Amino acid sequence: MSAPNLQTTALMTEHLGYPPISLLDDIINCVNDILYKCTNAMEKYLLKKSEVNGEDYSHEIRVGIAQLETLLENSLDRNFDRLELYVLRNVLRIPEELIVSNVFRLKHQKNMVLAKKTLRKISESSMRSKMEEIEHELDRNKQLKELLSRVKHLKVKVENYKNFVKRICIIETPELRPVYESLRPIDNSIVLLTKQLKQLYESSEEICSTDAVNAIRRERREKERQRQQELDNNTIKFEIREPNLNLLNSIP
């Protein structure tokens, strides 16, 4: 059978909850642990009896155990490579013909109904419109945050100005009382000016609201983009039609 491809591996990973190769890696790691425990136990046992007739054979025992361990590792790798190929191609594998014919489904896909092409187009268009609405709301939220920061800054300035005016209005000497009384009409002028500014703001908001300003900005950006595209196209045409002066000069 053919080797598993990326799609079958992804489906098996989704079905099992872990990659198929990780199962084989765990098995190989467990067998390697048993192998090393066996060689270590054999080395400890032989080192206890390394002296024979007064001669120490510890070095020969360590060299022999290392060679045995290398031999077992090579044999283990060779046989488990075959096991890995067999399991991935015959056990932990989804037949490719089931995927091509779209008949294979996972448990959570059992009652799933595939929408038709027209319904998919409708859903895509509605999703795009929702994304545009979200982008518009994010842009509007950004503008509102900027306005809010400006209002907070202006509020601090007004509070400072109010405290300053309060300090000025404290009349401690009788000579300044007439001057203060002469400035009282300014209060009415400020109130009148505030009302006029409020009416001007409301009228300007009705004529040109934030949405209208955004629409004008988008239209201006689109016109600039089209103008730049026309300039680029004209530049390309000019470069194509420009004659080769060197070639013309070479003609007798």
> What number is the average pLDDT over the span 6-10?
79
CB atoms within 10 A of CB 94: 15
Q: Is the pLDDT of residue 247 over 80?
A: no
Q: Is the pLDDT of residue 251 over 60?
A: no
- CA–centroid distance for 62 within its chain: 54
pLDDT tens digit string along 134-149? 888 888 888 888 888 8
pLDDT, position 122? 81
CA distance 208 to 215: 10
pLDDT, position 190? 73
> What number is the average pLDDT over the span 124-139?
86
> What number is the average pLDDT over the span 194-208?
66
Task: Record the pTM.
Answer: 0.42
- Would you give the DSSP letter of residue 106? -
Q: Is the pLDDT of residue 226 over 50?
A: yes
- CA–centroid distance for 45 within its chain: 58
Beta-ladder partners of 51: 56
- Of 163, 172, 14, which is closest to residue 99 (Cα–Cα)? 14
pLDDT tens digit string along 57-95? 888 889 999 999 999 999 999 999 898 888 888 888 877
pLDDT category of residue 235 using cuts at 50, 70 and 90 = low
Written as six digits, the tokens of 150 are 């400006």
Locate the DSSP E strands across 73-196. Answer: none
> Hey, CA dihedral for 42, 46, 48, 49, is it positive or negative?
positive
CA distance 145 to 232: 38
